Structure 1
Amino acid sequence: MIDGIYTLANDVVYDQLVALLNSIEANAGKNIPICVIPYNEQLDKVKAEIATRENVTLFADYASINYWDNFATQVWKNYPRAQKTWREWGLAELYRLPMHRKLCALDGNFDKFIYFDADTLLMSPIDYIYVKLNQYDWVTNDFQYKSELKYIFDGAPDLIKQVLPAEKLPSHIFCAGWFAAKKQIFSADLLTTLLDKLQSGEADVMALGGPDQSLFNYMVLKSDIAYYNFAYDDYENTTGNHWISQFDVQDYVLYDKGRRLTYLHYMSIGASAFTKLCAGEDVDIPYRDVFLHYRYLKSPEQRPQKFIRPNMLIQMQNLTSSFIQQKINNIKLNYRNFKNKVIQ
């Protein structure tokens, strides 16, 4: 039995990927196998980084990549509301299609795995996650269930009741940026059945701001696999994980009211902010010193020694870009800004 970690990356998130890999080594051990699933073929920096790490590999099963690309394409290409809405938002016809490649983890070498988005930092050992996978097929650790259901499923209420098991809503919904599961828990027959149901109208329950997340939730809910969420089933002992929360910092590890975080998620902060910061631009990122610590843990000599504010023209360009992005976020119902959680 092989346990491991997957993430999804390309050169756009290079700085975040390095920080994540270093945080895993520092807080969980340097021998944990890690596999990077390619977001696309923009991978020169990623491949160079992987070559320096004995425990890190690049996912290269293109039969699996093509399968999940095709699976997601069939779901969304045949969903008129999605196509119409994304056009109105000025987005790609198959919005965020490569994000569905996270599902390649189900076909990889790890019998039990934990998936991390590249915009996360590991804060503690993770043995207990693998132990929980001895009892459950899919494990999460977030407070998505405290948000409105519309961020995952925004179809008509009657259709949601018809399509989804009411007894599992909202307790079984989750953020797709971090989850743990077992290899090949969805059979080929089940996947065929799910795709048929989605193409027959059930896709209309799904929210469109984060299509990969909505689809993963649908698959888990409809498959009847054993599901566990630390933040729901063990609420009193579970920490927050979203950057907007107020955490204590001790030796570059975050704590929530004395409890060590499992991971920190920088969800909704664009990759460009981290790239600019690592280029020496004075960018305001929550827990900035923590991120920089892990980003340059193995190369402290490369860490910027000072940070410079851009000139007025660049600042105006950045503000304009930020304004446009914020408008898109508002159109999408502020999809990715709802995970503030404070332990009571």
Structure 2
Amino acid sequence: MSRGIYIVANEKVGENAIALLNSIRYYDPNVSVFLIPFNDNYQNLAAILSEKHNVQIFPDLDFLNQFTQKIAEIFDRDFLALPNKMRKLVAWFGPLDEFLYIDTDIIVFEKIADVLDYLAEFGFICNDYHHAGRGLQDIFSPLIREQKIFTEEQLSDVFNSGFWASKKGTISLEEMYELLRECSQHREYFDFSRQVTDQPILNYIILKSIPKRLNLVKIPGGGPGSWAGSKHFQERDRVLYDGEKRLQYIHWAGTPMKPGAPYRELWEYYRYLKEPKPTETSTVQTKSFWQGMINKAKNLF
């Protein structure tokens, strides 16, 4: 049985992808990691991640493109303007039997793939407090409750779509397309007011198709938070703590990642592990360093 991690990325989020992989490899040198290209602008990043961290490209790019085209056919453009943002869904049809999906605006603080152990009992794993904080916001409109599309118990399982795990075969390709068609016919069910894209659709798919779900923060005793918008986390030895609980990861979902942003210095630490960190007086040298890396990556690719 194969286990591992999927990410979706291209050159635009390359710095974040490098920071994420630096953190993953710091705690787990051996876990399999696959890059699902967001679009065709990914080759340089893929080569760098391959050389530094043994990241592999999703092996069936033809299927990936066919899947994206199918989504484009299912959804009107005024509903889903960027079908590529749904590419994370191919995780169910990739090479890994058990997989963890991680957004690139995350860094981790442990051997994160260990959460896959919970898949021995459950078909889907998430790990956040969206249900307790934002509730149905950024996921469903009030109509979904009014029309009783889901039970209150099901609605208590809504989740952020940046960190989750499941198993290959839990959803068939035919079932996936049918659920996507169902979503496309009911735009009124979803809350896209804050420009979220895949999150409402993914929640609908999971609540409809996978009955045995686990949110790790609901385990007795609770769990630490993970959102970078929470300002009370304390840093100790390059790890964040929620009180006495060590965070498993930090996620900048909907929060800025620029200098001065929450926990930015910690992100920079993981981003520049084992390589020079740019300074105001070394801009030219840094550009030269990265140009060399890119040229080397091109030759490798």
- TM-score normalized by structure 2? 0.84
Q: Which residue of 2 aligns with 1:152?
A: 139
One-letter amino acid of the counterpart of residue 189, structure 2: V
Q: Distance in 2 between matches of 1:140 and 1:286?
A: 23
Q: Distance in 2 between matches of 1:67 and 1:153?
A: 28
User: 1:109 pairs with 61, 75, 95, which one?
Assistant: 95
Cα distance 1:160–1:261, how it changes in 2: closer, same or farther (>3 A)?
farther
Measured after TM superposition, the shift of residue 36 of structure 1 is: 1.0
Q: Distance in 2 between matches of 1:17 and 1:24?
A: 10
Structure 1 counterpart SS, 2:125: strand
Cα distance 1:214–1:158, how it changes in 2: closer, same or farther (>3 A)?
closer
Q: Which residue of 2 aligns with 1:59?
A: 58
Cα distance 1:62–1:96, how it changes in 2: closer, same or farther (>3 A)?
same
Measured after TM superposition, the shift of residue 260 of structure 1 is: 1.1
Alignment of 1:244-263 (within 5 A): 244-245=229-230, 246-263=232-249
Measured after TM superposition, the shift of residue 94 of structure 1 is: 3.5
Deviates more, 1:289-298 or 1:58-67: 58-67
Measured after TM superposition, the shift of residue 250 of structure 1 is: 1.4
List alignment gaps of at least 5 residues for structure 2: 283-301
One-letter amino acid of the counterpart of residue 262, structure 1: Q
Measured after TM superposition, the shift of residue 204 of structure 1 is: 2.5
User: 1:204 pairs with 173, 179, 188, which one?
Assistant: 188
Q: Which residue of 1 aligns with 2:164?
A: 179
Deviates more, 1:132-141 or 1:187-196: 187-196
Q: Distance in 2 between matches of 1:16 and 1:127?
A: 19
One-letter amino acid of the counterpart of residue 51, structure 1: S
- Is contact 2:123-2:167 (8 Å) kept? yes
Query: What percent identity do the matched residue pairs reach?
Result: 29
Cα distance 1:212–1:68, how it changes in 2: closer, same or farther (>3 A)?
farther
Q: Distance in 1 between matches of 2:114 and 2:32?
A: 16
Corresponding pairs, count: 278
Cα distance 1:159–1:129, how it changes in 2: closer, same or farther (>3 A)?
same
- Is contact 1:68-1:100 (8 Å) kept? no
Q: Distance in 2 between matches of 1:137 and 1:218?
A: 15
- Is contact 1:114-1:178 (8 Å) kept? yes
Q: Which residue of 2 aligns with 1:216?
A: 202
User: 1:194 pairs with 160, 174, 179, which one?
Assistant: 179
Q: Distance in 2 between matches of 1:291 and 1:157?
A: 37
Measured after TM superposition, the shift of residue 270 of structure 1 is: 5.1
Cα distance 1:140–1:107, how it changes in 2: closer, same or farther (>3 A)?
same
Q: Distance in 2 between matches of 1:76 and 1:270?
A: 30
Q: Distance in 2 between matches of 1:190 and 1:47?
A: 31
1:130 aligns with 2:109: no
Structure 1 counterpart SS, 2:75: helix
Measured after TM superposition, the shift of residue 155 of structure 1 is: 5.3
Q: Which residue of 1 aligns with 2:15?
A: 15
Superposed CA deviations along residues 17-46 of structure 1, whole A, max 9, x for unmatched, are 11100100112x111111111111112431
Cα distance 1:36–1:192, how it changes in 2: closer, same or farther (>3 A)?
closer
Measured after TM superposition, the shift of residue 110 of structure 1 is: 1.1
One-letter amino acid of the counterpart of residue 5, structure 1: I
Q: Which residue of 1 aligns with 2:86?
A: 100
Cα distance 1:53–1:155, how it changes in 2: closer, same or farther (>3 A)?
same
Measured after TM superposition, the shift of residue 97 of structure 1 is: 2.5
Measured after TM superposition, the shift of residue 10 of structure 1 is: 0.7
Q: Which residue of 2 aligns with 1:296?
A: 272
Cα distance 1:164–1:241, how it changes in 2: closer, same or farther (>3 A)?
same
User: 1:239 pairs with 212, 224, 232, which one?
Assistant: 224
Superposition RMSD in Å: 2.3
Superposed CA deviations along residues 21-73 of structure 1, whole A, max 9, x for unmatched, are 0100112x111111111111112431231231353111141233124313432
List alignment gaps of at least 5 residues for structure 1: 84-92, 274-282, 309-344
